[in-house]
Amino acid sequence: MDILLLLIFIPLCFLFFFLVLIALLYVFPVHVSLSCVSVPQRKETAVSISWLIVCVRQVYAAGITRTDVVVARHILRSSQQEKDGDPVRAREPAPSREPDNLPQILLLMPLLAGPVVHFCCRLFRLVSVNSVRGTMRIGLADPVLTGMVYGWYCAVRPLLAYSRIFLDITPVFDRNVLDMQLEMRWDLRHPLMLAISAWRLYRNRDVQEALSIMKRKQVEPVQC
């Protein structure tokens, strides 16, 4: 009797946690942020995707890409990768291939337009801009052009603030310069719905056929 209850209790626990996970994916949004720093002393780009207590962050600076997996503000895993890991192989020209399957893919493009546009519309409805904040120092070759750009910015600044875009632009009239520090944040509402849409897009018959054509093209032997 105890064994029977245990065999019933374990699947029910898995089912309960699965339903809780689905509910959390529907209720809690995914936060996406992109920060870009471009100043003479520092050039860095960072992208982070977070949901509840889990965050995946990727930072690119000085030719090195660092990826961190953070759980509850503790780094669970971190890895670094240089841009040019094998410089000798990077200089080798890629072998040319005959585009034998290109006409087949072009014939599938009208069929792919429908599911791809449907997925993009769903993504557009679920994504909302949280805020855009940053500072910029801009200077063009002609001081008149710099003044015109700054004038346009002053004219549309109230509209930008209404759209939650907060930019502080400082004009520089004596030299060419473009220094900026930007941070953009998006919220992806109901990530479960987007995951379902992505799965339907992947399982679409025309998308599967296009993927199979691309796979066959990759494994074809190169004829010299």
Could you tell me where the beta strands, DSSP code E, fall in 19-174?
Answer: 30-39, 42-51, 54-61, 64-71, 74-82, 127-139, 165-171
Residue 209 pLDDT level (bands cut at 50, 70, 90): confident
Residue 59, in any domain of the structure: yes
Q: Tell me, what's the pLDDT at 41? A: 81
Q: How many CB atoms lie within 10 A of CB 210?
A: 19
Query: Does the structure show a pLDDT above 70 at 104?
Result: no
Residue 70, in any domain of the structure: yes
Question: What average pLDDT does the segment 25-51 reach?
Answer: 91
Nearest alpha carbon to residue 215 among 96, 108, 101, 116:
101
Structural domains counted in the chain: 1
Residue 216 pLDDT level (bands cut at 50, 70, 90): confident
Question: What average pLDDT does the segment 10-23 reach?
Answer: 90
Residue 180, in any domain of the structure: no
Higher per-residue confidence, 40 vs 156: 156
Residue 58, in any domain of the structure: yes
Residue 69, in any domain of the structure: yes
Residue 165, in any domain of the structure: no
Question: Strand 64-71 vs strand 74-82: parallel, antiparallel, or unpaired?
Answer: antiparallel
- The boundaries of the domain holding residue 52 are 30-84
Strand order in the sheet with 30-39: 74-82, 64-71, 54-61, 42-51, 30-39, 177-188, 127-139, 165-171
What is the chain's mean pLDDT, rounded? 84
Query: Does the structure show a pLDDT above 60 at 149?
Result: yes
Nearest alpha carbon to residue 30 among 199, 198, 189:
189
Residue 38, in any domain of the structure: yes
> Angle 213-216-221 (CA atoms, 0-180°, nearest 5)?
145
Residue 65, in any domain of the structure: yes
